């Protein structure tokens, strides 16, 4: 029977692709890891690792075991959390996949509140696009998804949604900064900063441009919200975002947020999602409850 320690050691090596780094992460000697992997190879009757000038490479058998090890260790961690729930310890780990634009205005304050109420709960936050978030929910690498324009799938349950209007966002000295509202035609006359085509906001904007018969080509194409904001702060172009994503910068007078003209663009739909076929721990359910409250409050403020 494969021991939990051997599986944990092998999983760490598979993720690091280095015995030395894995040993540092696990706080054990590299020889201790080598012994465990030698035992695994003897039990399975196949080599799992190969040494190369660039580090460790997994064999085909190693890749199979690495995939199974990740799933087994995640399942074991969830069992531990559920047992802790039964004991009333209220501990656990919540893994979230989120759009970068929801962090400052929604996710960070909600998780800070939960962390204060339940100091034994830990959080893993994965910044990702809506499509990637769906895949990670299915794989079990995240428990909760929070993103704009989440693709609809039968196995992904949307627990709550909030609708937020898009604004054009630019530096205060930009040529558009004096407008009361901005049309796509007017926007297309200026340099635009957009996320890449995998993001729902970009797809919604392109649909709006197509309906209006406008060619809207970004001058800057980047998935990083911080990069988008840095470009706008330096006057490089105009962003198209819900105001929540730039609330701090607008409050400080660094950026200006102007509504898009009515019917220019469909409202941003922010979705709170889970994988339908997975049992949820106390920590995950509590986090979902708090995020639901935050989403409802956010939509009420936007109305």
Q: Which pLDDT does position 33 carry in this prediction?
A: 84
> Above 90 in pLDDT, residue 229?
yes
Q: Mind listing the pLDDT tens digit for each residue in 80-112?
A: 767 776 666 677 889 999 988 888 889 999 999
- The phi-psi region of residue 285 (left if phi > 0; otherwise alpha if psi is between -120 and 50; otherwise beta) is alpha
CA-CA distance, 123 to 121, in Å (whole number)?
Answer: 7
- pTM for this model (two decimals): 0.68
d(CA 134, CA 60): 27
Beta strands in the chain (DSSP E): 49-52, 55-58, 92-98, 121-127, 144-148, 156-164, 167-170, 192-194, 220-221, 238-241, 256-259, 268-275
Greatest alpha-carbon span in the chain: 72
Residues 264 and 272: their CA atoms lie apart, in Å, by: 25
Contacts of 86 (CB under 8 A, 6+ apart): none
Residue 146 has pLDDT above 70, yes or no: yes
- What pLDDT is attached to residue 85? 67
Task: Calculate mean pLDDT across residues 126-147.
Answer: 90
Residues 223-238: what's their mean pLDDT? Answer: 92
């Amino acid at each position: 029977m494969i021991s939990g320690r051997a599986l944990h050691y092998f999983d760490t090596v598979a993720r690091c692709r280095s015995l030395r780094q894995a040993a540092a992460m696990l706080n054990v000697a590299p020889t201790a890891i080598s012994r465990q992997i030698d035992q695994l190879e003897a039990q399975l009757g196949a080599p799992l690792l190969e040494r190369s000038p660039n580090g460790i490479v997994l064999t085909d058998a190693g890749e199979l075991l690495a995939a199974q090890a990740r799933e087994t260790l995640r399942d074991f961690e969830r069992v531990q959390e559920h047992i802790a729930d039964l004991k009333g310890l209220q501990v656990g780990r919540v893994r979230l996949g989120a759009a970068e634009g929801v962090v400052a205005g929604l996710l960070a304050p909600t998780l800070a509140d939960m962390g204060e109420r339940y100091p034994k709960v830990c959080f893993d936050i994965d910044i990702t696009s809506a499509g990637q978030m769906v895949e990670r929910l299915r794989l079990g690498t995240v428990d909760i998804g929070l993103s704009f324009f989440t693709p609809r799938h039968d196995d992904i349950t949307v627990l709550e949604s909030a609708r937020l209007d898009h604004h054009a966002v630019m530096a205060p000295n930009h040529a558009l900064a004096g407008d009361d509202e901005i049309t796509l035609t007017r926007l297309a006359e200026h340099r635009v900063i957009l996320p890449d085509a995998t993001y729902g906001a970009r797809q919604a904007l392109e649909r709006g441009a197509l309906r209006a018969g406008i060619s809207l080509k970004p001058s800057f194409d980047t998935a990083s919200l911080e990069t988008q904001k840095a470009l706008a702060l330096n006057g490089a172009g105009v962003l198209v975002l819900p105001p929540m994503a730039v609330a701090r910068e607008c409050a400080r007078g660094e950026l200006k947020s102007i509504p898009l003209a009515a019917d220019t663009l469909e409202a941003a739909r922010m979705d709170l999602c889970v994988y339908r076929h997975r049992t949820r721990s106390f920590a995950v359910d509590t986090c979902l409850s708090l995020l639901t409250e935050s989403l409802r409050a956010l939509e009420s403020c936007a109305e």
